[in-house]
């Protein structure tokens, strides 16, 4: 849509096109198959004002069908509008509302799709900025529409950073929701490629799988001629508005050129060379279209009758849209409220992606694990162990708390000369997988650091250890009374017999249960898989095995 519709133009590289899920085939899919899996679809339009028949037939009518079978996100791309209209943003909000009304009048349903405003989900701008760090300049300069639009759109200075970067913003829009498909017309199949390239680059740079590569979803995109015979487009001033009265557009159709066909009404014509013939193909019932085409060829219909017939076909299609829009216009506040609610809903989904992305860029908003105790005095050590000031940590979801404590331990407990890194800087999209990723010591020992899942306990903590071999386990647990964090650095070899025994009786992927028990004040015992416990006092805060 860079003009009115999403356009991402990159030539060359190959990518998959999904043809078996176009709206026609949707109708043939069994309902259960459709409902059981709902791939995610995303698309949007720039708020350039009221939509026209070209927008409707090329995109909106398809979206209305797609929302029956897909999890759909449809947005109003107001930030995109600013890439070209930055000098006069005075109509952005009004146009946004107009597009929203047309979306709803045409049949987009907030019960079925998420319909939102791009700028109301600030994660779009955030991801755009982060993607701009990794997108090579050459990719953008080679986008064909970059030069094309600079030449075609006169009267606006488009030599701006924002205009060059609009394909990155599009990639952000799509990838933010981890969309599976982007609906495009036959002539736009190349437009999804830049997004796929950005996803590939991100995943490969950070060895992650955060972003699936979206596919182009082919949707019907018939050629809709404007009232001057050229493609219908606002920039040509030849549109028929979805909500425009027939009193305005009727005379425009009547005055349309037949492109040289049937100058004399006794001459036979070729409807394939006449824009009215094209309008019939798009808007008339197949029987009527066929009949008028035949009669055109035989000169048995007058052009004004043919034009009136296509005008009637258009009117039949858009009259219900007009009526719905009139109703909606009388309750503008409801539409605005819907957009606010749906934007908040979209932001929740977007934030899920951004949590992973921020994590990868080490931009987590949680500063809890950052090193805060730099000294080695008794006071510093006491401060590091005492977590009673961090009451908010205990309300976090278990996995987040586990990650926070693990990072906190690494930053605040380890002496400066002990270096633990993550294996080959791998970053995982899944928190579960990340929590099982061992750290690597300077001497290449594999160190598994894990936290107890028990929060409200004073004297017994349970741990689960994957049945893989690590040289060292580090067990973190805390007392509910004073939130004192204990750490035990356990060389696996001390428990190798118990470990091997437990492993023998385990199923694949089962985890070994390890228990730390506190007895008689501050003595600690460790048991592996219910076998005899062993005292581990000397392992507490003993970082020797990590050197």
Q: Which residues contribute to the site for ligand SF4 (CB under 6 A)? A: 258, 261-262, 269, 271, 274, 276-277, 296, 301, 303, 306-307
Q: Smaller CB distance to ligand SF4: residue 269 or 311?
A: 269
Q: Which of 364, 346, 345, 368 is nearest to 355 (CA)?
A: 364
Contact assessment for residue 304 and residue 254, using Cβ atoms and an 8 Å cutoff: yes
Between 303-329 and 246-254, two packed helices, what is the crossing angle to 10 degrees?
Answer: 160
Rounded distance between C-alpha atoms, residue 516 and residue 540, angstroms: 12
User: What is the helix (H) or strand (E) element at residue 194, kind and residue range?
Assistant: helix 193-205
CA angle 121, 128, 69 (to 5 degrees): 55
From the CB of 148, what's the least distance to ligand SF4, in Å? 31
Q: Which of 226, 73, 184, 199 is nearest to 135 (CA)?
A: 199
DSSP 531: S
Residues 6 or more apart whose CB falls under 8 angstroms from that of 400 comprise 431
Percentages (nearest 5) of helix, strand, coil residues in the chain: 50, 15, 35
Q: Smaller CB distance to ligand SF4: residue 268 or 375?
A: 268
Q: Smaller CB distance to ligand SF4: residue 276 or 402?
A: 276
From the CB of 92, what's the least distance to ligand SF4, in Å? 39
Q: Smaller CB distance to ligand SF4: residue 185 or 277?
A: 277
Q: Smaller CB distance to ligand SF4: residue 296 or 485?
A: 296
Kindly tell me the burial class for residue 366, based on how many C-beta atoms sit within 10 Å of its own C-beta (0-12, 13-18, 19 or more): middle
From the CB of 273, what's the least distance to ligand SF4, in Å? 8
From the CB of 239, what's the least distance to ligand SF4, in Å? 20
Q: Smaller CB distance to ligand SF4: residue 257 or 522?
A: 257
From the CB of 291, what's the least distance to ligand SF4, in Å? 11
Q: Smaller CB distance to ligand SF4: residue 296 or 404?
A: 296
Q: Smaller CB distance to ligand SF4: residue 136 or 268?
A: 268
Give the number of other Cβ atoms within 10 Å of residue 423's Cβ.
Answer: 11
Q: Smaller CB distance to ligand SF4: residue 149 or 292?
A: 292
From the CB of 119, what's the least distance to ligand SF4, in Å? 44
From the CB of 11, what's the least distance to ligand SF4, in Å? 36
Rounded distance between C-alpha atoms, residue 342 and residue 358, angstroms: 24
From the CB of 317, what's the least distance to ligand SF4, in Å? 18
Rounded distance between C-alpha atoms, residue 358 and residue 208, angstroms: 13
Helix, strand or coil, per DSSP, at residue 398? helix
| CA dihedral (299, 301, 303, 307) positive or negative | negative
Rounded distance between C-alpha atoms, residue 47 and residue 310, angstroms: 28
From the CB of 322, what's the least distance to ligand SF4, in Å? 25
From the CB of 56, what's the least distance to ligand SF4, in Å? 22
Q: Smaller CB distance to ligand SF4: residue 142 or 223?
A: 223
Q: Which residues pair with 491 in a beta bridge?
A: 472
User: What is the helix (H) or strand (E) element at residue 534, kind and residue range?
Assistant: strand 534-535
């Amino acid at each position: 849509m860079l003009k009115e519709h999403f356009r991402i133009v990159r030539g060359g590289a190959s990518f998959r096109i999904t043809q078996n899920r176009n709206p026609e085939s949707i109708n043939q899919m069994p309902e259960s198959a459709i409902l059981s899996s709902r791939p995610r679809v995303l698309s949007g339009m720039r708020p350039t004002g009221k939509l026209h028949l070209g927008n409707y037939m090329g995109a909106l009518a398809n979206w209305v069908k797609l929302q029956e079978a897909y999890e759909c996100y449809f947005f109003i791309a107001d930030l995109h509008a600013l890439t070209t209209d930055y000098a006069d943003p005075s109509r952005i909000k009004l146009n946004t509302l107009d597009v929203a009304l047309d979306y709803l009048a045409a049949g987009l349903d907030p019960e079925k799709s998420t319909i939102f405003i791009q700028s109301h989900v600030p994660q779009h701008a955030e991801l755009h900025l982060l993607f701009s760090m990794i997108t090579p300049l050459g990719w953008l300069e080679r986008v064909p529409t970059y030069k094309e639009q600079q030449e075609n759109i006169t009267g606006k200075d488009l030599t701006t950073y924002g205009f060059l970067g609009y394909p990155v913003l599009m990639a952000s829009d799509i990838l933010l929701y981890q969309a599976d498909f982007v609906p495009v017309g036959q002539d736009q199949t190349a437009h999804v490629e830049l997004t796929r390239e950005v996803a590939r680059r991100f995943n490969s740079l950070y060895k992650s799988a955060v972003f699936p590569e979206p596919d182009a979803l082919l949707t019907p995109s018939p050629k809709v001629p404007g009232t001057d015979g050229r493609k219908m487009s606002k920039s040509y001033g030849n549109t028929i508005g979805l909500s425009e009265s027939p009193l305005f557009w009727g005379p425009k159709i009547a005055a349309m050129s037949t492109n040289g066909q049937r100058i004399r009404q006794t001459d036979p014509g070729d409807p394939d060379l006449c824009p009215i013939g094209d309008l019939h193909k798009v808007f008339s019932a197949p029987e009527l279209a066929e009949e008028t085409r035949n009669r055109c060829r035989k000169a048995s219909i007058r052009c004004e009758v043919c034009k009136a017939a296509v005008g009637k076909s258009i009117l039949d299609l858009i009259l219900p849209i007009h009526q719905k829009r009139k109703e909606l216009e009388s309750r503008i506040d409801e539409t605005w409220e819907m957009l606010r609610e749906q934007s908040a809903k979209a932001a929740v989904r977007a934030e899920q992606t951004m949590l992973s992305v921020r994590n990868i860029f080490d931009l987590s908003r949680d500063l809890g694990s950052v090193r805060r105790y730099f000294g080695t005095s008794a006071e510093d050590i006491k401060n590091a162990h005492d977590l009673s000031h961090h009451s908010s940590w205990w309300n976090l979801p278990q996995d987040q708390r586990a990650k926070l404590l693990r990072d906190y331990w690494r930053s605040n407990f380890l002496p400066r000369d002990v270096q633990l890194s993550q294996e080959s800087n791998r970053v995982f999209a899944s928190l579960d997988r990340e929590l099982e990723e061992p750290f690597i010591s300077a001497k290449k020992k594999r160190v598994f650091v894990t936290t107890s899942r028990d929060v409200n306990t004073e004297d017994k903590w349970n741990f689960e250890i994957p049945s893989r071999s690590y040289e060292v386990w580090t067990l973190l647990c805390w007392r509910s009374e004073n939130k004192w964090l204990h750490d035990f650095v356990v060389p696996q070899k001390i428990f190798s017999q118990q470990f091997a025994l437990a492993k023998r009786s385990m199923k694949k992927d089962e985890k070994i249960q390890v228990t730390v028990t506190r007895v008689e004040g501050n003595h600690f015992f460790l048991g592996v898989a219910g076998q005899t416990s062993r005292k581990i006092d000397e392992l507490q805060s003993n970082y020797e095995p990590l050197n």
